[in-house]
Amino acid sequence: MKNLILDIKYYLLFLLFVLCAFFLYLNFGINFDKNYAPEIIADASFRDQIILNEVKDEKIFEGSLSKKIKVDKNDTLIKILGSNEVESKFIKALIKTKGSEKLANIKTGDFIEISFSEKKIPEEIFVTRNGLKGILAEFENNTYTIKNHERIPEVIERFASVTINESLYQSALKEGMPDSVIMDLVFIFGWDIDFVFDIRSGDSFEILYEEYFYKGEKIKNGDIKAARFKRGKKVFSAIRFFSKASQTKEYFSTRGENVKKAFLRTPVEFSYISSHYNLNRKHPVLNKIRAHTGVDYAAPTGTPVRSTSSGTVSFIGNKGGYGKLIEIKHSEDYSTRYAHLSKFSPRLSNGSKVEQGETIGYVGQTGLATGPHLHYEFRVSGNHTNPLTVKLPDAKPIPEVEKQEFLNHAIKMINRLDELFLKFYAQT
């Protein structure tokens, strides 16, 4: 019994010791906070100097300090700001600011970036399409200023080495290449390589391209700087070069030859060729022999159709069995036709100028057509020719005055590809 009483006494003493230690801890914590309070208050006082008088007593903003909103159809600037925690007094101040009409002229697909202070003040409102160029509203000295603004991004080099086992697209995706860079690669080499029929398992390529970042966030994919494609025993190279003489950016082989031709080989991303150039073909609708003076590319309705070269629209509208048709005159010798379209690019009319690769319409099955496809014709001096076999004219080479500068640059880029290629395989 005596031992039990002693145990209870010791337990009570221990409990008393723990409670004392707990209260001492609490007092120490309170004193710690009090010691640092003046610094926090001073900082808050400084911030109060740059905000509107009526928000001096505003609570510290507990939400995100930045927001990025994509503009949808029927969105307005006021609607977006109001639904993203921007108070009406700031919206009113923004509307009254000179240049606010630029900021309010938002379009579907634009982005609105809002940066808040800790007191919920929308200090920056940036309307942009690509994340780099846009209209910026800055809040300072109790007022907004609105101006055109361009951010300076950080440019990062990326390298990829891809061996094609499935399609080029799927193989490139597995190596982490972005969609847009894959399509740029196809576009660059598309004059020399038919990526539908010419590609074989085991073909490979190395590519050096750019990515743009701002404050650690990827803004967009940049240009391909250099690429090398190996198809069997053939090697195709493309080096980006800025010509001071022509003020253009183009891609050239290591010998200084322009990798592109004056014409794209195909005007559309297609599933398969449903009908070849054949002057003795039986028409599938009319059921009689009727020359097929072009190539039919089967593709889903709505697939974009590109102009294969720069030129002027000489006809746009409905034309008998062609359905919705666009004809483009590229020079005295060359013209092309794009038929059975579902619709045209809204900006086009007779006499409109178009650039190579520009979307001019969309695949359909208007006119005499049994299914959605593009009928494409290529004429030389007014005569029909086979678009698949016609020798395409070359684009301009490197200007002679810049030839040596380019060759030095090309050697540097090829050496860079070799260096990165060796590093890549050393790590695998």
Q: How far is CA 93 from CA 66, 128, 221, 282, 319, in A?
A: 20, 21, 36, 71, 55
Pick the CATH number of 66-150 from 3.10.450.350, 3.30.465.10, 3.40.50.620, 3.30.565.10: 3.10.450.350
CA dihedral 303, 304, 305, 307 (to 10 degrees): -170
Q: Which two tokens stand for residue 142?
A: 């109790």
What pTM was estimated for this model as a whole?
0.60
The terminus-to-terminus CA distance of the chain in angstroms comes to 76
Average of pLDDT values for 382-410? 88
pLDDT in tens, 154-184: 999 999 999 998 788 889 999 899 988 998 9
State residue 261's pLDDT score: 81
pLDDT(3) > 60 = no
List phi, psi (to 5°) of 240. Answer: -75, 135
Identify which of 144, 143, 117, 146 has the alpha carbon closest to the alpha carbon of residue 46.
117
Residue 258's DSSP bridge partners are 252
Contacts of 359 (CB under 8 A, 6+ apart): 304, 305, 306, 345
Q: Is 265 exposed, middle or buried (0-12, 13-18, 19+ CB in 10 A)?
A: middle
Q: Which fold has domain 154-261+399-427?
A: Nuclear Transport Factor 2; Chain: A, (3.10.450)
8 A C-beta contact, residue 405 and residue 357: no
Say whether 154-261+399-427 and 66-150 share the same fold: yes
User: Into which CATH architecture does domain 272-385 fall?
Assistant: Distorted Sandwich (2.70)
pLDDT in tens, 119-164: 888 999 999 988 889 999 998 888 899 999 999 999 999 999 999 9
Looking at mean pLDDT, say which of 247-256, 338-347, 418-427 comes out highest: 338-347
With bands split at pLDDT 50, 70 and 90, how would you rate the model's confidence at 215?
confident
Q: How many whole angstroms separate alpha carbon 208 and alpha carbon 375?
A: 36
Radius of gyration for the alpha carbons in the chain, expressed in angstroms and rounded: 33
**Minimum mean pLDDT among 38-47, 62-71, 196-205, 324-333: which range?**
38-47
- Average pLDDT, rounded, for the chain: 81
Q: Any idea what the Cα angle at residue 299 is, between residues 295 and 300, rounded to 5°?
A: 150
Tens-digit pLDDT profile for residues 327-352: 999 988 999 999 999 999 999 999 99
> What are the backbone angles phi and psi of residue 129, rounded to the nearest 5°?
-95, -45
3 state SS of 113 = strand
Domain spans of the chain, in order of start: 66-150, 154-261+399-427, 272-385
Q: Would you place residue 370 in the very low, low, confident or very high pLDDT band (cuts 50, 70, 90)?
A: confident
